[in-house]
A and B are shown apart, each in its own frame.
Chain A
Amino acid sequence: MSVSTPGGTQRPSSDESTAKRGAAGAKPAAGKAPGTRSGAGQTSGRRPAGKGPGSKGKGRKPVTPVKVSQGPAWGPIALFTAVGMLAVGIIGYGAYAVIEGTKSWQERAAEIPGIINVRETDPKHLEYERHLPGKIEYTKYIPPVGGVHNNAWQNCMGDVYDAPIANEHAVHSLEHGAVWITYRPDLPKDQVEKLAERVRGKEKMMMSPYEGLDAPISLQAWGYQLKVDHADDKRIDDFIKALRVNASIEGPNALCANGVTETGTTPRDDAAGHAELVNP
């Protein structure tokens, strides 16, 4: 351990500094240190007893000189470069995966071009004290994206409604994490079918035609809205992936079942058979 190799030509000062910097693991130090040492090599300052920190590396020194000949050691350089690049690749990919994987649904929603985030722009609009029965005027966002609503929610178990439904129940479904797809009644049948394929059989999804839309298709989640022109628009799937269930105010256990299954834009909160079960 303390034995110096024949060419053991370390000056204590450089030896120490190398070890210290090396131990600190600082990248700039690792680059600088060899430069210092090359100078030290020429001034053959002998020092038998290894100064603690540096001696660790000396133990293995005798092995390598045999392999390395005069001139640049291309083999090891290539090896180092290859290993280094591999390491950088692994670390880079890992970092990318971590960053992508931990992107919140809010961040991913914000990246959808054209999305409206009322939670951010108009949070007051979404606040309410208690459920209100009967008709409620929703004028600010059409279709509505949140705010006060009826006691009963619209059934959102992958229900494809063929006629308009009541805003007052639909908004409650949004609160429970549903994505509500609405379309102008004149949307071509094949596009309606493409939308329905995204809804059928999937809880926390529902769709209905909507009179007076200013775009062919409009998607709603609690506090979010996206208007698109065609059912093939990829943003529809991005919206659903980011916001279905995630946008729920009440979490993934909020019910979509046992809601209002009737169509018609008149709210049915006072109708017998509904209010009794929901929100006990």
Chain B
Amino acid sequence: MTTVTMAETPVEEIAPARPGPRYSLFALTLAIIVGLVLGYLGGLLTPFVTKPGDDSPEAGFARDMTTHHAQAVEMGLIAYRNSDNPAVRQIAIDIATNQQGEIGMMQSWLRRWKLDPTGSQPPMAWMPNGAAMVRDGLMPGMATPEEMEQLRRARGREGDILFAELMIKHHIGGIHMVDAILMRTNDEEVIEAATRMKNTQRTEVNILRQLLQDLKESAKDN
């Protein structure tokens, strides 16, 4: 502000005497200075302006997928602890460790973007009609507290089948969210990670479907 007011006065003084040249030199100097200052400040501010904001799809995805993943980790750890089927335990621990790692990655995005792990918007608000998909605070594919309690208590083949069913549903919901962010972001790191999540979860859905079929067939045999 001060620059502007100070600049006005001299211009008025000069004008009658030698308007043209004085004004021109002064204008050029000022323009260069202002240009340099603006350019410098612009450079300083660019990372803050271009990074995803608090209500951006990227931030919403990082937060909501963290929540979504956290439940998959919980299901995986429960199955790993309770199951005695090696194939179930194998995929359970694979899902748990992989998704926990991805939670760490998404949380460090948020930290780098200087955003909180908690958003100001309701879950899924970054997706069109996303908030409508949330039931009792649960995003697509997430198990209810009752289902989680069932999973904790179930043992043997019954527990294995429940785990496979819940995780298939969970992954399909997760892939839905991944598709939504892939349509909305230009952030290369987010695109790369989301694509990787999609591929991994698709493969795991196939493995779990096969596993589920085997489990149900062996149940019939007995």
Binding site for B on A (CB under 8 A): 5, 7-9, 18, 22, 25, 27-28, 30-31, 33-35, 37-38, 41-42, 57-58, 60-61, 63-73, 76-77, 80-81, 83-85, 87-88, 90-91, 94, 97-98, 101-102, 105, 157-160, 197, 199-204, 237, 240-242, 244-246, 252-253, 255-258, 261, 277
Give chain A residues whose Cβ lies under 8 Å from the Cβ of B24: 57, 60-61, 63-65
Binding site for A on B (CB under 8 A): 1-4, 6-30, 32-34, 36-38, 41, 44-45, 48-49, 66-67, 70-71, 73-74, 77-78, 81, 100, 103-104, 107, 114, 116-120, 123, 134, 136-139, 142, 145, 148-149, 152
Flag if A38 contacts B17 (CB, 8 Å).
Answer: yes
CA distance A81 to B37 in the complex (A): 16
Contact of B14 among A41, A159, A246 (CB under 8 A): A41
Flag if B4 contacts A258 (CB, 8 Å).
Answer: no
Contact of A88 among B1, B78, B100 (CB under 8 A): B1
Flag if A252 contacts B10 (CB, 8 Å).
Answer: no
Contact of A252 among B23, B41, B104 (CB under 8 A): B104
CA distance A71 to B41 in the complex (A): 35
How many cross-chain pairs have Cβ atoms below 8 Å apart between A and B? 209
Flag if A73 contacts B138 (CB, 8 Å).
Answer: no
CB of B85 to closest CB in A, whole Å: 19
Give chain B residues whose Cβ lies under 8 Å from the Cβ of A22: 29, 32-33
Beyond A30-B30, A252-B107: 18 further Cβ-contacts under 8 Å?
A30-B7, A33-B29, A37-B22, A38-B22, A65-B19, A67-B20, A77-B12, A84-B3, A158-B137, A200-B138, A201-B67, A201-B123, A201-B136, A203-B66, A241-B118, A241-B120, A245-B107, A245-B118
Q: List 14 A-B contacts (CB under 8 A).
A: A30-B33, A31-B9, A37-B26, A65-B24, A80-B8, A85-B1, A87-B34, A105-B116, A157-B70, A158-B137, A201-B139, A237-B120, A252-B117, A277-B81
CA distance A119 to B26 in the complex (A): 56
CB of B110 to closest CB in A, whole Å: 9
CB of A116 to closest CB in B, whole Å: 20
Task: Known contacts A7-B18, A87-B38; decide if A57 and B67 are in contact (CB<8 Å).
Answer: no
Contact of A256 among B1, B37, B70 (CB under 8 A): B70
Contact of A64 among B21, B45, B103 (CB under 8 A): B21
CB of A53 to closest CB in B, whole Å: 11
CA distance A246 to B24 in the complex (A): 55
CB of B191 to closest CB in A, whole Å: 22
Give chain A residues whose Cβ lies under 8 Å from the Cβ of B6: 27-28, 30-31
CA distance A61 to B21 in the complex (A): 5
CB of B14 to closest CB in A, whole Å: 5
- For the complex of A and B, 7 pairs with smallest distance between CB atoms: A65-B20, A201-B137, A34-B10, A200-B137, A257-B74, A31-B6, A84-B4
CB of B46 to closest CB in A, whole Å: 9
Q: Which residue of B lies closest to A9 (CB)?
A: B18
